[in-house]
Amino acid sequence: MTEAITSYRFSFGPWNLSEGADPFGPPVRDPFTFLEKVKIAKQLGFDALQFHDDDAVPELDSLGPEQISKQARATKQILTDHGLVAEFVAPRLWFSPRTIDGAYTANDPADRAYAVERSIKAIDIAQELGTPLLVLWLAREGTYVREAKSVPEAVQYLVDAINTMLEYDKQLRILVEPKPNEPMDQAYIPTVGHALALGNRTADPSRVGILIETAHQILAGLDPSDEMGFALSFHKLWSVHLNDQSGLKFDEDKSFGEVDLRRAFNQVRVLEENGYGRNGEYVGLDVKAMRTQKKEVSAKHLANSKQTFLWLLDKVRSLNRSLQAELVRQRDYEELTRYITAHLLGARY
Ligand code: XLS
Ligand code: MG
């Protein structure tokens, strides 16, 4: 066990305060302005915001370099004025007509070039916002039809794109956020293991790490806390997107711990037991408000997820470690699981 941090720092992205649109229906709430979102973050006790490049600089594709840095500086100023910082920037490579067939792995070389140029702009924005972290959620890197693409070629395109970014900014660190499906049928980098292996193929593996989202692990049929433990053992867990997910379906981004409290407990436990946060890592929440929430109460999912993390942290810290060790020594795992259930329920044991 590594010594735990005394207090965690929390973050979320502006997209986590949303208007409730889904593929079957339009928005149901008026939007918050960016400034209102910043105020909500501060009010709820968050420390940082996460950004898609165009959250920080809207209409990015139509702007020149000077306009981009001017807007990025204005965004940074709003953060500073409210005592917040930027955790990371992620290029939004899934919206443009030029990323319909993938971004770094599109079959058309002009589309691949667009993806790299856009990523370089995202790095410029990250520099203006004062963060060395770039997150790559490889949304459209995968296939709908096996015969349309070559996997080894696609992997090489990904390596080349990451190398270009690492070369462009020598301080940059890249976090790959694996997800097995959605929007793609099959993603090229579906799991933490794939992301680690990809990082190892790049010119500087020491600057490529992982962001783990709870729901993405569940969609891959894996246990989120085990995946976090795996990345931690390689010192590669540089950010997390805690949330929850009810089974194998679309990415639900439910509040942390809403579906499976014990699974959430084990994520907090593995982070706490392995010193997560001691190198400045944030506890990020990638959660979505239910479509039924009215605007005035549409930030509760963020407050609740943070609260649940802290409640579970108390449970982790108050575990009877000698009892746990003794039950492990006796190999009485039935008793161990009974103890954990009692502890989580606050039942007399
Ligand atoms: C989508 C991803 C997305 C990233 C940020 O499934 O979780 O929200 O975290 O680009
Ligand atoms: Mg995410």
- Kindly report, residue by residue over 125-158, the tens digit of the pLDDT: 999 999 999 999 999 999 999 999 999 999 999 9
Q: Is 55 a catalytic residue?
A: yes
Q: What's the pLDDT band for 249 if we cut at 50, 70, 90? A: very high
53 lines ligand 1 (CB under 6 A): no
Atom 3 of ligand 1: nearest residue by CA position: 137
The pLDDT value recorded for residue 206 is 98
288 lines ligand 1 (CB under 6 A): no
Phi, psi dihedral angles at 102 (to 5 degrees):
105, 170
Domain ranges of the chain: 10-318, 320-349
Sequence-distant (≥ 6) Cβ neighbours of residue 107 within 8 angstroms = 101, 148, 149
**Catalytic pick from 54, 55, 124, 244?**
55
* CA 78/CA 59 separation, integer angstroms: 18
269 lines ligand 1 (CB under 6 A): no
The pLDDT value recorded for residue 6 is 82
Burial state string for 295-319 with b = 16 or more CB within 10 A and e = fewer than 16: eeebbebbbbbbbbbeebbebbeeb
Q: Which of 141, 181, 213, 250 to mutate to test the pocket of ligand 1 (most atoms within 8 A of CB)?
A: 213
- pLDDT at residue 1 is higher than 80: no
* CA 65/CA 67 separation, integer angstroms: 6
**Average pLDDT of every residue of the chain:** 97
Atom 5 of ligand 1: nearest residue by CA position: 137
Query: 137 CA distance to ligand 1 centroid (A)?
Result: 6
Architecture in CATH of 10-318:
Alpha-Beta Barrel (3.20)
Q: Measured between alpha carbons, how far is residue 206 from residues 158, 175, 200 in Å?
A: 17, 11, 8
The pLDDT value recorded for residue 5 is 78
